[in-house]
Each structure stands twice: as C-alpha cells, then as structure tokens.
Amino acid sequence: MTDIRNDVAPEVVGRVENATLAELRDVHIDDVYLQMDWLLKSRPTPIDLYHRWENQNWSTQELDFSEDAQHWRDMEGIFEGFRTELQRTFTLFFLGEQAVTDTLSPMVHAAPDEDSRIFLSTQLVDEARHTVFFSRFFNEVIGVTGGLHEALGLVRDQTVEAYQVIFDGELVDVTEAVRLDPSDYATWVRSITTYHLIVEGMLALTGQKFLLGIVRELGILPGFYSGFTAVARDESRHVNFGVRALLEAHAKDRAMGTVIEDQVMKLLEPACRIVAAPDRRFVVEPEETPPNLRISPYEVRAFSLNSLTKRLRVAGLSEVFLEEVTKRGEAAYDRAWSDYEDIHSVDHPRRFWDRMAPTNA
C-alpha cells in the first residue's frame, strides 16, 4: 500500500527541479508536490539534496512585489474578507519561518554524520531566506513596516493556541534538549520528527498547497507566488532529508521506531488543531465564496494526514500505526470543528459541505 504517486511524468519533475525563480511563477503547486513524491520514492542522500540546493538557490532580492502591492490595495473593500483570511495565513507562515530559523542550529551540530551536517547547514540558510522573504512581503505589500523585529512583534499575537503548543513549546524544548546533549541520538530523532515530519511534512505542506492554490485561482500576488513556490521547493529537500534520516534511524535501531511513534502521537492533536484553527472564526462563509475558491475542510484534513502518513510509511513505520494516526487525526479534526461551533456559536463550514455532499461526513 502506498500514497506516493508512481506515474509522475519526467518532464514535470524536470520542470520543477530546474525552474528559475521567474519560471516558478508558472509552476502549479501540485506539480511541486508531484516532484516531492518522486523524490520521496527515490530516497536521495543528504549529498544528493545538497547538490539540489546548489542548483536551486534563489535570492529574495530578485522578487518584484510592486504588482503584489497594487493587488493588495485593490482588494480593500469588496474583497476585504478574503484579504483578512489571506493575511492570517501569511502571518502563521511568517512566524513559523522565524521559529524554525531560531531553533534549527542545535540539530546541525548534533547530526550523526558529516553529510547530514552539510545538508542541514543549507537548510539553516534556507530558513533564514524564507524569513527575509516574508519580511519583505509584509513590509512592501501588507504594509507592516519597521524591520523584521517590529513586523514579528506586530503579528505574534495573531497565532492560534495550538500553534503556541508546537512552535513556542515543543519545537523550542526539543531543540534545546538537543543543544544540551548533542550526543543523545534519540533526542535528535525526536527533533527531526517534530521539525521535518510534523512542522514541515504536515503543517507547511498543507498550508502551502491551499494558500498557493487560492492565490493562483485569484490571479494575484505574482511576486509572492513565485517566492512561496520557491519556498515549497526548498521544503521538498528538507522533508525528504527528514524522511531518510528517520528511515536510517529506524533501520539501525528498531527502538527508534517507538521514539518516532511517541513523538507523532504527542503532537498529532495540536498539529490538527493548527490546521483546523477552531479559535479563529472564518471571515468569509462558504456560501459567500465563489465555487472555484471554496476549500473543503474534509479535503484539507485528508491531505494533511496523508502528507504525514505517506512519509511515515517510507520511514518504515507499520501500517497498524499509520491507520491509528489516520483514525486519531480524523477524530482530532472532528473535535476541533465541534470546538469551533462551541466557541463562535455558529456552524462550522463543514456543515455546508455536509449539505452539499453528505458522503463527506
């Protein structure tokens, strides 16, 4: 059993792999994810991924946000609801990039071999670049000025509660534990599970897919689309490094499988709640949304859990465990959706989808 696409056309992979920053403007995010599946199947080594980093480097200074800024101004008024929803999502990614930039370095030092240290050093550069990308975008398009520190301070209170559990809590704690004892391999494996599987392989990939899909459908923010697609391609390298690292850990010592499983189960509920965000009321209801811009919460749930489980499968975890992850993850989403209704005293958007297609429920 596998959820990895086996029919990926070589020309799709080549286009994503070799696209310049300007050419990424015309690359669909789904093609990037096909390339990720191709990489996942081929299991590249850290040095293979390093070579990709050399070939796929890009500069935030090459991006032109002038058209984006005009689009953002044009969305005022009639499209204000969409603008608000987009800005909320931009904010979580901005803060997420800053959080992972600040916490990655102990994992570089504690890596079990030189090849892994070399690759993780490139990832540290990538995460810094992503933070600068969002800083420029917030400054030049959203209008949050005053530099990176000021921008982060202004948007930090917009995080949801579950975000704080993972990004301000577990991610900080586990990487600090790695820093204090870099020789503890099990702790490093926990950090990779947190960072590369949960944060990047589940949360980031899910947000990127649906955010870039909406931006593309609206035909807006070309500078952001190019830059964020480049971010997604960077994440492809990161996530595939993490999967291989966990596969090797599991192969060397079966006890590492338990370490991975325990960490996934510890973070599964808050991860699902970050995506579902029950403490944040939707500004635009599905009934008010054009059909081509509607996003089914069931589709989001399925994509996020599949993103996690197919990588766990490649890492060598059992089908029994993967079925349990899916079962518990679906239940976590159900609880979050019910909490949304309790908190806001309105129907969750899933009710709309239940009425439209009862088989979703």
What is the rounded average pLDDT for all residues in the chain? 92
pLDDT: is 151 or 302 the higher one?
302
All domains in the chain, ordered by first residue: 10-360 (1.10.620.20)
The backbone region for 113, taken as left when phi is positive above 0, alpha when psi lies in -120 to 50, beta otherwise, is beta
| Planar angle of CA 222, 209, 121, nearest 5 degrees | 85
Q: In 3D, which of 52, 41, 94 has the Cα closest to residue 237?
A: 52
Q: Are 153 and 95 in contact (CB under 8 A)?
A: no
pLDDT of 361: 46
Model confidence over 137-190: pLDDT tens digits? 999 999 887 665 665 666 555 567 888 899 999 999 999 999 999 999 999 999
Model confidence over 90-111: pLDDT tens digits? 988 888 888 888 899 999 999 9
Cα–Cα distance for residue pair 256/320, rounded to 1 Å:
17
Which string of DSSP letters, residue by residue, matches 85-125?
A: HHHHHHHHHHHHHHHHHHHSHHHHHH-SSHHHHHHHHHHHH
Cα–Cα distance for residue pair 100/127, rounded to 1 Å:
7
Q: In 3D, which of 25, 2, 27, 1 has the Cα closest to residue 12?
A: 27
Model confidence over 222-269: pLDDT tens digits? 999 999 999 999 999 999 999 999 999 999 999 999 999 999 999 999
Average pLDDT estimate for 190-219: 96
CA dihedral 317, 318, 324, 330 (to 10 degrees): 60
Helix, strand, coil shares of the chain, percent, nearest 5, are 80, 0, 20
Taking each continuous run of H as one helix and of E as one strand, the counts in the chain are 17, 0
pLDDT band at 78; cut points 50, 70, 90: confident
Which string of DSSP letters, residue by residue, matches 47-92?
A: HHHHHHHHHT---GGG---HHHHHHHHHTTTTTHHHHHHHHHHHHH
pLDDT of 114: 98
pLDDT: is 220 or 283 the higher one?
220
Residues in the chain, total:
361
Cα–Cα distance for residue pair 178/185, rounded to 1 Å:
9
Q: Check the CA dihedral 171-176-182-183 and report its sign.
A: negative
DSSP structure class, residue 196: I
